[in-house]
Amino acid sequence: MDNPRTRSGQAVDNVEALHVDSPLMHSTTLTKKVGWQVYTEYVARFWLIGDDSSNVWLKLDNLQPSGSFKIRGIGYMIQRAMQKDHFTHPQLVSSSGGNAGLAVAYAGRQLDIPVTVVVPKSTSELMKEKIEAEGARVIVHGEAWDEANAYAQKLLENTPESVFLPPFDHPDLWEGHSSIVHELTDQLDKPPDAVLVSVGGGGLLNGIILGLQDVGWSQVPVIAVETHGSNSFQASVVAGKLVTLDKISTIATSLGAKTVSSKSLELSLVHPVVPFAVSDGMAADAVKRFAADHRMLVEAACGASLSVCYSNVIQDIIPTLTIDSNVVVIVCGGSNINIDMIDVYSKKFPNPPIIVRSGSDVFLKLPGSDGSLAEKKIDTTKTPVNLEGYSLTNEEMRIVLDGVRTHENGGPAGPGAPIGEDSQPVTQQELQVKMEMEAQT
Instruction: Using alpha carbons, list the distances in angstroms from residue 145 to 132, 142, 151, 253.
Output: 18, 7, 10, 12
Strand-pairing partners, residue 431, are: none
Whether residue 149 has pLDDT greater than 50 = yes
Mean pLDDT of all residues in 251-267: 89
Whether residue 161 has pLDDT greater than 90 = no
CATH 3.40.50.1100 placement within the chain: 24-63+188-436, 73-168
- Confidence band (pLDDT; 50, 70, 90) for 376? low
Mean pLDDT of all residues in 303-317: 87
Predicted local distance difference test score (pLDDT) of residue 99: 92
The average confidence (pLDDT) of the chain is 77
Angle between helices 280-294 and 339-348 (to 10 degrees): 130
Burial (0-12, 13-18, 19+ Cβ within 10 Å), 199: buried
Whether residue 389 has pLDDT greater than 70 = no
pLDDT in tens, 340-357: 999 999 998 887 656 433
The residue type at 127: M
Mean pLDDT of all residues in 301-319: 87
Question: Rounded to an integer, what distance in angstroms lies between the CA atom of residue 232 and that of residue 201?
Answer: 8
pLDDT in tens, 15-69: 678 999 999 999 989 988 776 444 444 455 544 433 433 589 999 999 999 999 9
Task: Among 3.30.1640.10, 3.40.50.720, 3.20.20.140, 3.40.50.1100, name the CATH number for the domain at 24-63+188-436.
Answer: 3.40.50.1100
Poorest-confidence range of 1-10, 20-29, 183-192, 346-355? 1-10
The CATH code that applies to domain 73-168 is: 3.40.50.1100
| Pair 34, 327: CB distance under 8 Å | yes
